[in-house]
Structure 1
Amino acid sequence: MTSDAASDERSASDGPVAGQPVQHGTGVNSTRAFPSEAYPSSLDPFVLFERFHIDPDAGFPMHEHRGFEIVSYMLEGGMDHADSLGVEHTAREGEAMRITAGGGIRHSEFPADGEFCSGLQLWVNLPRSEKETEADYVDASAADLPTETVDGATVTTVVGEGSPIDLRTPMTYRDARVDGAWTWSVPDGWSGFLYGVGGSGTVDGDAFGEGDVLPVTEARDVRVEAGDDSATLRVVAVAGRPHDEPIRLRGPYVL
């Protein structure tokens, strides 16, 4: 995917903010968690995060990326991926892909089977010393991603212990379906965010629902609770160790 947003500075947020609707030049619609008007910054080491919605007649033709890594995680339907490494793969609901763009990779993304698809895409910065690393790709089926039931939630690890998806930045990425209360912990020295995928509830007592994001820039515990109607609140919780380097986003490149 491509982006025309850029920010080098981290900004603070006292609580959840709403995601921003974005329409890409190819006709794909997204809800962007950051950078956005409400949170006009990247979240070192994370460059951007958004939920994408691709109609059957839309998609991303072959385009180039450099200087970062991409994690795509499918929520609905399937997405066909092809790249300059010779990889052709269809990721379906509950499956994930990681692309290391490094010194350069070209790829395309289109909905599979002529049907709508939706998913989440995260861009993770590469440290300056690894900007020119060799391009790479890996994917994981839903069965490959470990899932556990804990008090108040069912949690799938997209990136982290037990997952075949790994990055050059130490990080974790969890998909939590919360039907009671669940506590997410951000380690010391890390930053991250929560994103609302579906349902409604609260985060540290603040209303939280689909499309909302809670940026977190210091170690803390965050309490996530489903709503009083007993509906499940689905969130993704992402945290990583900052590189403490400027993030310079220039369209499809992170310099």
Structure 2
Amino acid sequence: MQSNGHAGDSSEPIAGQTIRHGTGVTATRAFPTNAYPSNLDPFVLFERFFIDPNEGFPTHPHRGFEIVSYMLEGGMEHADSLGVSNTAATGDVMRITTGSGIEHSEFPADDAACNGLQLWINLPRDRKAIDPEYVDAAADELPTATDDGATVTTVVGAGSPIDLETPMEYLDVRVSESWTWSIPDGWSGFCYGVAGSGLVDGDAFGEGDVRPVTDGRSVEIRSEDGLRVVAVSGQPHGEPIRQRGPFVL
């Protein structure tokens, strides 16, 4: 996949696309997809993965970007070429800076199915060859606050122990009534439906749906049936995103 720009804001939410990885893992991809065939600078791709027992990702290489994996249900075992082994449980987050190169594997823990969210974030050209690094945080380390009409957990952003080379914010939001998502001027982002149903700027929105936003502004999100979304935004690099399988050049 290769894309240098974005397709512009959609007038309505876009359904995610089912992806079947060669390792027996199924994912619902938000972008790039047939419906939104672009990256979303600074973001390379985003998907919800579902790993059945005895499936997973054997050791494989990455370089040139950062990975944030956020567990929704079950646990996932991570092992990498830095010598790190960690099992992330529900609500835990892992961040990998692939930089000049890293190898890792991902398998479900305790022979039980798991699912979570994975985001790839481009590294700016002058940082692509930095040393690889791994950091994780447990669910109880992530700040959670009650906002007007929602409960918001900060996965990446103010108060979270997880930070990246790219200025960004990653929020897990359980909307009980209505909530306003504010995106800084000049930033790009997207919201993704994790569970339940509701409205995003007046349009029907549910599990697996994505709403790209490429003009920093406010987005109104309303729950109809316990809507849970992740809202992610970041500062674009203004550089081409050239993905070649597991590498971002």
In the superposition, the TM-score normalised over structure 1's length comes to 0.96
Indicate conservation of the 8 Å contact 1:199/1:233, yes or no.
yes
Indicate conservation of the 8 Å contact 1:15/1:215, yes or no.
no
Once the two structures are superposed, residues 54-79 of structure 1 have per-residue CA deviations (whole angstroms, 9 ceiling, x without a partner) of: 00021000000000000000000000
1:100 is matched with which residue?
97
Indicate conservation of the 8 Å contact 1:6/1:35, yes or no.
no
Determine whether 1:7 maps to 2:3: yes
Structure 2, unaligned stretches of length 5 or more? Answer: none
Match of 1:43 among 30, 40, 43: 40
The runs of at least 4 consecutive aligned structure 1 residues that moved more than 4 Å come to: none
Question: What is the percentage of aligned positions where both structures have the same residue?
Answer: 69
Cα distance in 2 for partners of 1:30, 1:109 equals 14
Once the two structures are superposed, residues 13-69 of structure 1 have per-residue CA deviations (whole angstroms, 9 ceiling, x without a partner) of: 222100000000101000000000110000000000000000002100000000000
1:158 is matched with which residue?
155
Aligned-pair distance for 1:95?
Answer: 0.4
Cα distance in 1 for partners of 2:216, 2:75 equals 35
Match of 1:133 among 121, 130, 136: 130
1:87 is matched with which residue?
84
**2:241 aligns to what SS in structure 1?**
coil
Aligned-pair distance for 1:220?
Answer: 1.1
**1:113 aligns to what SS in structure 2?**
helix
Aligned-pair distance for 1:8?
Answer: 2.5
Aligned-pair distance for 1:9?
Answer: 2.9
Cα distance in 2 for partners of 1:113, 1:125 equals 32
Aligned-pair distance for 1:199?
Answer: 0.1
The total of aligned residue pairs comes to 248
Aligned-pair distance for 1:224?
Answer: 0.4
Cα distance in 2 for partners of 1:21, 1:8 equals 23
1:188 is matched with which residue?
185
Determine whether 1:245 maps to 2:242: no
Cα distance in 2 for partners of 1:54, 1:143 equals 24
Indicate conservation of the 8 Å contact 2:5/2:41, yes or no.
no
Indicate conservation of the 8 Å contact 2:4/2:239, yes or no.
no
Match of 1:217 among 211, 214, 219: 214
Cα distance in 1 for partners of 2:211, 2:64 equals 26
The one-letter code of the counterpart of 1:238 is V
CA RMSD of the aligned region, Å?
A: 0.6
The one-letter code of the counterpart of 2:2 is A
Match of 1:118 among 111, 115, 119: 115
